[in-house]
Chains A and B, each alone.
Chain A
Amino acid sequence: MSTTATIKTKKEMNLWPLALFIGGGIIIALGATGSINKYIQTVIMFIGINVILSASLNVVNGYMGEFSCGHGGFMLVGAYVSSILSVLLFTNSKWLGHPILPPSTAVFLFPVIIIIGGLVAAVAGLLVAIPSFKTRDDYLAIITIAANFIFVSLVNNLEFVGGSRGFMGMKGTVFAMEDVFKAPYMLFWTLTFCSLAVFLIKRLMRSTFGKGISAIRYDEISAEIMSVNTNHMKLVAFMFSSGLAGIAGGLFAHVMGFINPASFSIMKSTEALVMVYLGGMGSLSGSVLSAIIFTILLEAMRPLQILKWVLIPLMLILLMQFRPEGLMGNKELTDKFPRLKRFFTRSSM
């Protein structure tokens, strides 16, 4: 490989944001005109949410090499925070009373409440980030499971958000937005946040700052000796990852219109883990691809009913047998197909 490839001074044309923009635009236009039905739209939204989930978990499990299996817990935090805000601010509910703000403002404020959900989830990420200073590997994995359980049990016992019966009313916000101007809002926002998340992760992992996270994976001791503040980087990685999971949770809540603690249990975390390992640890394109494939596969096998849960795990076992490093290993799409570089690469600046 020539070194000139890495030290480009000239900025290359960056085609992928454009491609994304057009692709996303087409999907949204199709959704708006009703050319693709509600079911397909929902599947696309789930793909978007799952991409955020797996790509964000990949920051911790792939790039940093820790084993976090409590991702569902952070999703729960984001989902509940943004749902409560959404119901409190924009809708009329029997729990939280009249809307505080005029419902039409939801059009502008909807992304804000999703981001607030993400921020609170990032703070919740401290619950695993701080123990990670002292411990790692299996022990940290246990702590992350514990964190997941803490969030689920906490909400189970919070009566004012419905406890284990769940929480609803978020559809009201979506309807409030549609009253102002009819458009497939959720489709738009899931695709937007999904691209934004992937874009930010890519940006982070390309910077020297973010490479400090990968340095922890390959040798934590030499990272520390080479002036990487590993505690700080772990904090950043965990909070960043759980913040994005919170955003995924907020979107999930608004797509479903109903959430209960059980939907963010360890099962959800496992689903996220499967997507990460399916795609390959430390490969962003891998986790995006696997989230897409996994979601579509789950939907495609729906007619098989319960047999689906025999076939999908079986496929996972076979995949791990023949490709233990996941679909992409720790390579990116551009490493596998150098021709794609023309569309994806840009100078490292």
Chain B
Amino acid sequence: MSFLKIDSLTHRFGGLTAVSDLNYELEEGGIYGLIGPNGAGKTTVFNLVSGFYNPSEGKIQYRGEELNGLPPHDIAARQIGRTFQNIRLWSEMTVLDNIKISQHYQLGYGLPGVIFKTKKYRDRERKIEAKAMELLEEFNLTDLACEYPKNLSYGVQRRVEIARALSLGPKLLMLDEPAAGLSTSDVVELIDYIRWVHENFKITIWMIEHQMQVIMTLCDRIKVIDFGKEIADGLPDEIRNNPQVIKAYLGDGEI
């Protein structure tokens, strides 16, 4: 049984087929890359897996469970974490709160628990706080726990966003262009970070990225899509030299 299995996934927006007949298989523990030119449908694939859209056709299976039709929060509760291309932190809540809220599905208490401050409520809150502080410590963000994300630099916001996704306790972490908007030196740092996250949290990472440096150094396996269709799948070296990939990225006209 594979970890994440996508079977002939198709998604249409009105007349536009954003993803067509895509098959994908992820094994637990790897780092996978999904690349393609702008508008190829990469983010749509992520949005389909995280439950934003309901696929027009096809099946998504995660650890043996079918994800089709589940609302996003339910999919998140099955331990799939993700980040966004344009950072979507809760910019006016503290970094600590950002991290804590991601454990929402593990609360186990509701409004009555809050009103009467039950033992369960206090236990859970203590555990959530401890876990959040531990994460911040690991990400070197402890000093910023009470800062608001809007006051932080872009690079740090990226780090907070990854920490927030990890607070969910994911088995699969989907990174949507983690290097977007980062400077060259930040990118090198990011590569180390992702590698560290992968080893430290023992999770599967699946990312979309345009920076070839990030993709080629990190990924075990890469899939290239264009116009919603798979055009290549293989090891980084195979992808680098694949004529079809080069064509998709650079075009085939004379320059």
Contact = CB atoms under 8 A, between A and B. Distances in A.
Contacts of A2: 146
A349 B93 contact: no
Contacts of A221: 52, 88
Interface stretch (B19-27, B37-45, B118-126, B186-194): B118-126
Interface in B83-131: 84, 88-94, 96-97, 100-105, 107, 109-111, 113-115, 117, 121-122, 124-126, 128-129
B158 interface: no
B117 A203 contact: yes
Nearest to A226: B102
Contacts of A225: 50, 72-73, 76, 82, 88
B164 interface: yes
Contacts of B92: 218, 330
Nearest to A9: B126
Contacts of A229: 71, 73-74, 104-105
Is the interface on chain A under 10, 10 to 19, 20 to 34, or 35 or more residues?
35 or more
Interface in A39-55: none
A7 interface: yes
Interface in B122-145: 122, 124-126, 128-129, 133, 142-143, 145
B129 A207 contact: no
B235 interface: no
Interface in A205-236: 207-212, 214-215, 218-219, 221-231, 236
Nearest to A1: B146
B115 A218 contact: no
Interface of A: 1-3, 5-7, 200, 203-204, 207-212, 214-215, 218-219, 221-231, 236, 240, 330, 348-349
Interface of B: 50, 52, 71-74, 76-77, 82, 84, 88-94, 96-97, 100-105, 107, 109-111, 113-115, 117, 121-122, 124-126, 128-129, 133, 142-143, 145-147, 164-165, 168
16 contacts: A1-B146, A3-B133, A3-B143, A3-B146, A6-B96, A7-B133, A203-B114, A207-B125, A208-B107, A208-B125, A209-B113, A224-B72, A226-B104, A226-B165, A227-B73, A236-B110
